[in-house]
């Protein structure tokens, strides 16, 4: 630490002294026999065999130490075709086919989301990609689901509601589950036939099942839906908001498919590098409150379906090398930000920043990753309100906009709604923190001239009724800070899929009714008879 | 004085988009004064193969961060990176890791 009288010596060097370069003449750092082919981390050279073992071990250890996936559980693998998720699917495939002692024991399925309409691809290009995707899915052998992003237009609002959270299973429950599973296997094996091979028949064999042919693949999505989706994405002003919207819609769609087919876990292929970039990007986007959920190993915000990230310790370099050396098939699909310049979006900027820093300081990514490991998920107001706190409409994290805290509420709102310039004076009067949609409605009860004559018609300002009918205000109220900032880049919220608009309407109505009831309770008891 | 070299240059992970979608290129590097190394190869690629957006592939005199280089299926960090001297029938692979998923 700094001391009085300390003199700064020579200026700090601009670049770190170059680390000694690993060279081909060295041997593999692990087995010390074979010639190395790849350099991992800062200067560890691995040979082919040791690299494979290291890579696979990391994957298994990540699943093993977290103990979240129970034997026999149905797990949906989110496969985008890209290298990280392809590698993940391949690891699962190999893990399931190993000898019984170390075999992975869950039941996987694969989902591929066709996002061509959001990226502006033509139907021919999308068909070409699907033609490349299908053989790989068939070769993998798990039950697969190919869904087009257009299907968000047929989702129901229930996808935005969290199911009641199951209590986190303690350590003993996991061990007990594994023990009973193994005993079951043993019994079945001893009952008839030679050993474990017979017992395996009782376990649903993914390979023996015919891969499902979901109806969505039999015909391309309706042209009207494709049109609606591309209209939605074209109306978004910035690439940052487009990427965020795409991620949100994709997450809802995967959640829906998982719930519909009974999957209790979803595995995504986010790698270490991607998560480090995501962590910094989310800070810039105003999602700092949710970093633990967005970048942690498990994400339980939906309640019944838990999102798991088993690849979070693998860097993109390791993934690319593994895929190349061991021929893991993947499909390249252009995304919304393909060939975008560096400053096109916050995501791109952060990616360039981190990767450039990584070349000079090779521990950048791992440092950010280690920091993300330390993030703890604390419920906002203590464990008691964990389940019932209001959730953001889009990202389904607990709402972090506090009406009493003018920094967040005021700063986001004023630019979009002229009427809310009145807000600060009434905000300071409320004093006690309340659920934000109700608080915002309550502060609107006219105490002074809110809508001045001759002024612009304030959107849903004073009357609760006209407020309910205004979809823009309905939706924005239900969002967390980060999502509100994103939605500002949509000139109109009309093109959003119906389920979002409907759920926003429903929640606002519910909040309004609650507010009305509260008003009734405050009034004289004589009036209650007439009001209820 | 370097003799003409026959080298296979391959692009993967999305980098091929900058090269008209063609992944494998069998190139013959012409005779020249200095020996061919990766640094010169990059300059040559930029001039002769790269179809668009050079800043997405090359930064300064090296590749853009996020693009891996494999020489004969080995990490270029083991072989001297930009200073590796190319030999006949070498295979150089550029994988972009930036297109994740």
Q: What's residue A103's pLDDT? A: 78
* 3-class DSSP state of A178: helix
| Chain A interface, best mutation among B57, B91, B100, by max A CB count within 10 A | B100
Nearest to A328 by CA among B71, B52, B12: B12
Could you tell me the CA-to-CA distances from A136 to A97, A141, A397, A489 in Å, in that order?
17, 9, 35, 38
Residue appearing with tokens 């994103």: A486
User: Closest approach of chain B CAs to the CA of A230, in angstroms?
Assistant: 21
Residue A184 pLDDT greater than 50, yes or no: yes
Hey, are the CB atoms on A45 and B78 less than 8 Å from each other? Answer: yes
Residue A196 pLDDT greater than 50, yes or no: no
- pLDDT tens digits for range A494-525: 899 999 999 998 988 888 898 888 877 765 55
- Residues in B lying within 8 Å of A, measured between beta carbons: 12-14, 16-18, 53, 55-56, 65-66, 68, 70, 73-75, 77-80, 93, 95, 97-101
ipTM here: 0.94
> What residues contact residue A369 under an 8 Å CB cut-off, 6+ apart?
A272, A275, A276, A312, A313
Helix (H) or strand (E) holding A519: helix A498-522
Residue A275 pLDDT greater than 90, yes or no: yes
Q: Could you give the CA distance from residue B73 to residue A24 in angstroms, rounded to a whole number?
A: 13
User: Closest approach of chain A CAs to the CA of B77, in angstroms?
Assistant: 7
Q: What's residue A436's pLDDT? A: 45
Q: Please tell me which residue, A410 or A200, carries the higher pLDDT value.
A: A410
The percentage of chain A sitting over the pLDDT mark of 90, rounded to a whole number, equals 43
Hey, are the CB atoms on A36 and B17 less than 8 Å from each other? Answer: no
Q: What's residue A445's pLDDT? A: 41
* Mean pLDDT computed over A428-450: 42
Structure-token pair, residue A395: 């990202």
* Mean pLDDT computed over A115-131: 92
- pLDDT tens digits for range B13-49: 999 989 988 999 999 999 888 889 999 999 999 999 9
Q: CB-CB: which of A36, A274, A333 is closest to B78?
A: A36
pTM for this model (two decimals)? 0.80
Q: Please tell me which residue, B5 or A460, carries the higher pLDDT value.
A: B5
Residues of A in contact with B14 (CB under 8 A): 332, 334, 338
Q: Please tell me which residue, B91 or A206, carries the higher pLDDT value.
A: B91
Residue A102 pLDDT greater than 80, yes or no: no
List the single range of A81-85, A376-380, A406-410, B32-36 with lowest mean pLDDT: A406-410
Residues of A in contact with B18 (CB under 8 A): 339
Domain boundaries, chain B: 5-96
Contact status, residue A349 vs residue A360, Cβ threshold 8 Å? no
User: Closest approach of chain B CAs to the CA of A497, in angstroms?
Assistant: 25
Q: Could you give the CA distance from residue B77 to residue A45 in angstroms, rounded to a whole number?
A: 9
Residues of B in contact with A86 (CB under 8 A): 101
Task: Determine the CATH number of domain B5-96.
Answer: 3.10.20.30
Structure-token pair, residue A385: 């309100």
Hey, are the CB atoms on A37 and B12 less than 8 Å from each other? Answer: no
* 3-class DSSP state of A44: strand
Q: Read off the pLDDT band of A206 (50, 70, 90).
A: very low
Q: What's the distance, Cα to Cα, between the start and end of chain A in Å? A: 66
Residues of A in contact with B68 (CB under 8 A): 317, 320-321
Residues of A in contact with B53 (CB under 8 A): 339
* Mean pLDDT computed over A90-96: 91
Q: Are strands A107-114 and A144-148 parallel, antiparallel or unpaired?
A: parallel
List the single range of A166-180, A334-348, A470-484, B38-52 with lowest mean pLDDT: A166-180
Q: What does the mean pLDDT of chain A come to?
A: 78
Domains and CATH numbers, chain A: 68-168+217-373 (3.40.50.620)
Give the orientation angle of helix A316-325 with respect to helix A83-96, to 10 degrees: 60
Could you tell me the CA-to-CA distances from A123 to A57, A130, A229 in Å, in that order?
41, 10, 14
Q: What's residue A100's pLDDT? A: 61
List the single range of A1-15, A214-228, A319-333, B29-43 with lowest mean pLDDT: A1-15
Q: CB-CB: which of A37, A82, A332 is closest to B75?
A: A37
Top-confidence range, A133-147, A219-233, A327-341, B29-43: A133-147
- pLDDT tens digits for range A383-403: 444 456 788 999 998 887 665
């Amino acid at each position: 630490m700094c001391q009085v009288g300390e003199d700064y010596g020579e200026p700090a060097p601009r670049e770190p002294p170059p680390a000694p370069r690993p060279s081909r003449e060295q041997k593999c750092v692990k087995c010390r026999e074979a010639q190395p082919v790849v350099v991992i981390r800062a200067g560890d050279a691995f040979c082919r065999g040791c690299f494979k073992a290291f890579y696979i071990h990391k994957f298994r250890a990540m699943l093993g130490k977290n103990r979240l996936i129970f034997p026999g559980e149905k797990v949906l693998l989110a496969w985008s075709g890209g290298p990280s998720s392809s590698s993940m699917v391949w690891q699962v495939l190999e893990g399931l086919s190993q000898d019984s002692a170390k075999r992975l024991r869950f039941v996987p399925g694969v989902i591929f989301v066709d996002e061509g309409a959001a990226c502006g691809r033509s139907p021919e290009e999308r068909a070409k990609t699907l033609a490349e995707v299908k053989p790989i899915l068939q070769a993998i052998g798990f039950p697969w689901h190919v869904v087009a992003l257009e299907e968000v237009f047929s989702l129901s609002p229930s996808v935005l509601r969290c199911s009641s959270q199951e209590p986190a299973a303690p350590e003993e429950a996991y061990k007990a589950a594994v023990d009973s599973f193994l005993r079951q296997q043993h019994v079945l094996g001893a009952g008839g036939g030679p050993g474990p091979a017979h017992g395996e028949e009782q376990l649903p064999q993914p390979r023996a099942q015919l891969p499902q042919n979901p109806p969505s693949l039999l015909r391309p999505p309706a042209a009207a839906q494709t049109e609606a989706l591309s209209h939605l994405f074209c109306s978004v002003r910035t690439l940052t908001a487009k990427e965020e919207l795409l991620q949100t819609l994709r997450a809802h769609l995967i959640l829906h498919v998982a719930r519909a087919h009974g999957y209790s876990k979803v595995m995504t292929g986010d790698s270490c590098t991607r998560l480090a970039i995501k962590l910094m990007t989310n800070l810039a986007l105003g999602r700092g409150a949710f970093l633990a959920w967005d970048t942690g190993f498990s994400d339980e915000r939906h309640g019944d379906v838990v999102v798991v990230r088993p690849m979070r310790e693998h860097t993109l370099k390791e993934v690319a090398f593994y895929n190349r050396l061991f021929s893991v098939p993947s499909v390249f699909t252009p995304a919304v930000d393909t060939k975008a310049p560096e400053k096109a979006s916050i995501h791109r900027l952060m990616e360039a920043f981190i990767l450039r820093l990584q070349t000079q300081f090779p521990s950048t990514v791992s440092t950010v990753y280690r920091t993300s490991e330390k993030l703890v998920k604390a419920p906002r107001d203590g464990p008691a309100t964990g389940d019932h706190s209001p959730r953001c409409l889009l990202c389904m994290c607990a709402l972090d906009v506090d009406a009493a805290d003018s920094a967040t509420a005021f700063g986001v709102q004023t630019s979009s709604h002229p009427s809310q310039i009145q807000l600060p004076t009434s905000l300071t009067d409320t004093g006690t923190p309340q659920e934000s949609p109700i608080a915002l409605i309550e502060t609107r009860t006219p105490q002074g001239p809110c809508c001045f004559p001759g002024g612009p018609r304030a959107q849903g300002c004073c009357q609760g009724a006209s407020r309910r009918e205004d979809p823009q205000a309905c939706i924005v109220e239900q969002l967390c800070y980060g999502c509100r900032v994103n939605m500002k880049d949509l000139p109109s919220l009309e093109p959003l899929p119906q389920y979002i608009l409907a759920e926003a309407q429903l929640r606002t109505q519910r909040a309004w009714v609650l507010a009305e009831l509260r008003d009734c309770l405050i009034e004289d008891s004589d009036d209650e008879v007439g009001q209820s | 004085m370097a003799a003409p070299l026959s080298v296979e240059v391959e692009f993967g992970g999305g980098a091929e988009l900058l090269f008209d979608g063609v992944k494998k290129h069998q190139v013959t590097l012409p005779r020249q004064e200095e020996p061919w190394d990766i640094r010169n190869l990059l300059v040559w690629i930029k001039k002769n193969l790269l179809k668009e957006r050079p800043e997405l592939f090359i930064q300064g005199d090296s590749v853009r961060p996020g693009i891996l280089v494999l020489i004969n299926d080995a990490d270029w960090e083991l072989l001297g990176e930009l200073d590796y001297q190319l030999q006949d029938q070498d295979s150089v692979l550029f994988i972009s890791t930036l297109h994740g998923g």
